[in-house]
Amino acid sequence: MSSAEEELKKLRAGIDSLDTEIISLIQKRAGFAQEIGRVKKESGGPIYRPDREKDVYEKVTKLSGGPLPASVIRAIYREMMSGTIALEHPLKIGFLGPEGSFSHAAMRSKFGTSIEAIPQTSIPDVFRMVEEGKLDYGVVPVENSTEGQVSSTLDMFLETDLSVYSELYQRISFSLLGFETDLSLVKKIYGIRIGNEQCRNWISANLPGVEVVDTSSTAMAAKLVSERKDGLAIASKIAGEIYQLNVIEEGIEDYSGNTTRFLVIGKTESPRTKEDKTSIVFSIPNQTGSLFAVLKTFNDASVNLTKIESRPLKRNLWEYHFFVDFIGHKEDPKIAELLEKVKSQCTLFKLLGSYPTAGSFPT
């Protein structure tokens, strides 16, 4: 046996020994998680706790000194937490389908794979299924960095009593999927219109003259390619996994950084953490200075607004609902006082929830 082979044998033996120890520790951790689940069940507490999830991610990120990047460590712990939650109670999570959509990818990045993922045909369906108790939580898009607000999500908050339980950011990156690797032979591309437009420059440069077929979703594009085998799809990598397509090219969008913010909706409220965000919706009298007065209340309290969006009232022409996100938790004394003042200035006021911030970048 050569010296190199001898060295490899010793190194692999070290890995095997560590693997044995790691598996033992993972199972021991799962045992503690089961006990925690028992206590939560007896006390009536929620199974999924985004505040605890955030604490774990922050802790392991700080402990991670390399060589593996923190993102890999987070992914490992995401699956461990997903698995241990499933030991307590397999979560039913709804999302805007079909499988392979970016909403599906966001749901997996938040909850892992040890859950029952249940696709819905529309955003209102996600809300209704959660409200009826058929789903534990729903994952819905609320805004995109290039396309703006998702109106149907905002509208549904006015029609249900569900709360925002958590948030996440998902990078929207398009891949070219299919079976044919020689681009010169490709005659057709399938994709959702908005995705096709966001990849226009890449398509023009690499596939000039190719027929572009609009589909109802990126996942449907991947499904059609898997069935027809007559072109390529512009979709997410997760769609490629589901429909067993090769990734021909990654990151074909014209502008990187396209990101969608998603909300986790449910019937329960998220516990307070050190870094929270609160969402509200309100209407104000249709008179001069009404909106200014509300915004001044936030300014006087030195509260940072992170978003303000308007949606027209369906019954009153040229009057609006205002959706506002700001830093702080409803249980913070300063925020509690602020909310009472804002409520007194409005004709309609609804607290949508306080929840842990997801930070500024996709997870």
Q: Coil, strand or helix: which one is 360?
A: coil
Catalytic residue among 218, 260, 282, 326: 260
Q: Output the CA–CA distances (angstroms, integers) from residue 226 to 173, 180, 215, 216, 231, in the order listed.
A: 20, 11, 14, 16, 9
Catalytic residue among 127, 262, 322, 326: 262
DSSP 37-82: HHHHHHHT--S--HHHHHHHHHHHHHH--SSS-HHHHHHHHHHHHH
Rounded to whole angstroms, how far apart are CA atoms 191 and 236?
A: 11
Q: Coil, strand or helix: which one is 255?
A: coil
**Contact by Cβ (8 Å): 229, 168:** no
Rounded to whole angstroms, how far apart are CA atoms 360 and 363?
A: 9
174: annotated active-site residue:
no
Rounded to a whole number, what is the distance in angstroms from the first to the last CA of the chain? 46
- Cα 3 from chain centroid? 50
260: annotated active-site residue:
yes
Across the chain, the runs of DSSP E, i.e. the strands, are 92-96, 116-120, 137-144, 148-149, 163-171, 175-178, 188-192, 211-215, 232-235, 246-249, 259-266, 276-283, 305-312, 320-327, 348-356
Which residues carry out catalysis? 260, 262
